[in-house]
Structure 1
Amino acid sequence: MPLLDTPVRIGVQLQPQHQASYQVIRDAVRRFEDMGVDVLFNWDHFYPLSGDPEGTHYESWTELASWAELTERVEFGALVNCNSYRNPDLQADMARTIDHISAKGGVGRFIFGTGSGWFQRDYDEYGYEFGTVGSRLDDLAAALPRIEARWAKLNPAPTRKIPVLIGGKGEQKTLRLVARHADIWHSFVPAPELTRLLGVLESWGEKEGRDVSGIVVSSEIGRVDTADADASYAAGARLFTIGISGDNIDVDLVQRWLDWRDSKN
């Protein structure tokens, strides 16, 4: 799979947990856009994933709608939306509406990041059937064509082809869905494994009749050094995301990665 001739971009995942108030997130969104961050993410869960399990937490989609109004330039979305919680056609309509809210210059900035779900407490507490890894992936496979079909029917239509980001590394189901539907693949893997999985993705692309070299490869850098990021870059990654949680918004960390981005571009 050839390397993309595309610039490096830096994302920040503002994990919506353990904030003293929503003002912390609001201020961080504005500050990171001003700093030049390329993409802002949250996640689609109902409870904290680390720290105090009963700590403060905010819902993803309503938060993203607020970001559409708060920002002017930055792209944004969930890393990732959970397909299980909402009817596929409703997801499409929500995404289309947020796309329009964010279209300050005529073109929206929303990224539809999605996955099959995994955090059982979300399901148990909110009354969703947890199923199995396989059944949740099958549900995602069934949902994505419905989402794409709904985008084609909505009036008004989305302002652009809303980019689809799919997260996960499963070789038999997830990567086939990436080859079939995704514009961005969030890999969750270090460079050595990334190289191998890109080969798997390319094989699925051949079976699906799609050239997958245009898919942007996404990776996480919150707990790695620049040598690791350089290796992921060499393997083909071009979107690198830092996870930030709670009230301690590490602006200096983000600036260091922005400087690294600029050195690559």
Structure 2
Amino acid sequence: MKRGYAAVTQATTRHPVRIGVQLRQQHTTYQSYADAVRRAEDLGVDTIWDWDHFFPLTGDPQGSNFEGWTLLTAMATLTQRAEIGCLVTCNSYRHATLLADMAKTVDHISNGRLILGIGAGWFERDYQEYGYEFGTAGSRLASLEKGLQMIKGHWQVCAPKPIRNPIPILLGGGGEKVTLRLVAQYANISNTFGDPPTVAHKMQVLDNWCTKVGRNPKEIERSISLPRRVSLSQLEAYLQVGATHILVEVDPPWNFDFLRTVLRWRNERSS
């Protein structure tokens, strides 16, 4: 094992290797995006994600961008097999009960294939231009915890109930004092980023939080958003530290070459 990498813990060994793709809906048309979603599923990805931003994050800041949850309803009808979600929903942009109803609705449209990706929010321009209070990191995290409680509670009383009840929650972020505690308490999937030693450390912190809150760490799938194109040896390194759900980012004009490489790697490992 490479120096600085933690051993795989029992918390992560039960989850299969899964590959997801985040198709970032900036600087594109709906027709082009829909085609990319279909192509991604045809390639064999396990999960397909958009994002929850109101403006592009790269390129022309005034360029085109589509709203994430409206787009998820289309993604539900464009796909048949892959799970779908928003990586990640900003908790601040919608009342928690409304978001729970939105998630329930997309869950039904997709026949139980939605993952609710959620986080505290960070892109200040979205807040400023749409009139949301940006606050502080602490206030946004406190709001996220309250929102998670409300969402999970609403799914128990709403009609109709979600098909997959409760809908699995992916919580994005690696903050060690609050975010990973919230993962241990409320989430089914953790999503973080960084090089393998960094991810290994985050996994250990999450395991420690699971112990503190009485959660079985084996219940939590660990996902990693790749920072760039990485080598196959680096993919193996992520598996060594427990990240079994690998997420690849793709922007228009939808070059899927690296995604194909990662999918071949997954298939060869499982053959």
Does the pair score TM above 0.5?
yes
**1:59 corresponds to which residue?**
67
1:239 alignment counterpart: 245
CA positional deviation for 1:250: 1.2
Match of 2:256 among 244, 247, 251: 251
**2:17 counterpart of 1:8:** yes
- Classify the secondary structure of the residue corresponding to 1:218: strand
Distance in structure 2 (CA, Å) of the matches to 1:132 and 1:116? 10
CA distance in 2, matches of 1:202, 1:28: 36
Alignment coverage as a number of residue pairs: 259
1:226 corresponds to which residue?
Answer: 232
* Deviation at residue 252 of structure 1 after TM alignment: 2.3
> Contact 1:184 / 1:218 at 8 angstroms: preserved in 2?
yes
Secondary structure of residue in 1 paired with 2:156: helix
* Aligned position for 1:150: 154
| 1:189 positional shift | 2.1
Question: How far apart are residue 68 of structure 1 and its match?
Answer: 0.8
- Aligned residue for 2:117? 113
Distance 1:200 1:113 in 2: 21
CA distance in 2, matches of 1:141, 1:63: 26
SS of equivalent to 1:48? coil
Q: Of 146, 169, 175, which aligns to 1:170? A: 175
Is the CA contact (8 Å cut-off) linking 2:121 and 2:140 kept in structure 1?
A: yes
1:183 paired residue number: 188
The amino acid of 2:154's aligned partner reads R
Q: What value does the CA root-mean-square deviation take over the aligned residues?
A: 1.0
Q: Partner residue of 2:130?
A: 126
Assess if the C-alpha contact under 8 Å between 2:25 and 2:65 holds in 1: yes
Q: Which consecutive unaligned segments of at least 5 residues does structure 2 have?
A: 1-8
Task: Name which of structure 1's ranges 2-11 and 64-73 shifts more when overlaid on structure 2.
Answer: 2-11
Question: Residues 18 and 55 of structure 1 are in contact (CA less than 8 Å); yes or no, is this contact kept in structure 2?
Answer: yes
- Taking the aligned partners of 1:225 and 1:38, their CA distance within structure 2 comes to 20
User: Is 1:206 aligned with 2:211?
Assistant: yes
Contact 1:4/1:214 (8 A) holds in 2: no
Secondary structure of 1:68's counterpart equals: helix
Aligned 8 A contact 1:4 1:216 in 2: no
- Contact preservation (8 Å) 2:190, 2:222: yes
Contact 2:210–2:217 under 8 Å retained in 1: yes
Residue 124 of structure 1 aligns to a residue whose secondary structure is helix
> What is the one-letter code of the residue matched to 1:120?
E
Q: Which runs of 5+ in 1 are unaligned?
A: none
Q: How much does 1:86 deviate?
A: 0.3
Distance, in Å, in 1 between the alignment partners of 2:56 and 2:246 is 23
Question: How far is 1:196 from its partner?
Answer: 1.4
Letter in 1 for 2:67: E
Tell me which stretches of 4 or more aligned residues in structure 1 moved more than 4 Å: none
**Quick check: 1:76 aligned with 2:84?**
yes
**d(CA) in 1 for partners of 2:96, 2:191:** 21
Instruction: Give the 3-state SS of the residue equivalent to 1:224 in structure 2.
Output: coil
Q: Does 1:261 align with 2:266?
A: yes
> Counterpart of 1:153 in 2: which secondary structure?
coil
2:101 matches 1:93? yes
Identity %: 47
The answer to which of 29-38 and 142-151 deviates more is 29-38
> For residues 136 and 259 of structure 1, what CA distance do their matches in structure 2 show?
39
Asked if 2 retains the 8 angstrom alpha-carbon contact of 1:88 and 1:147, the reply is yes
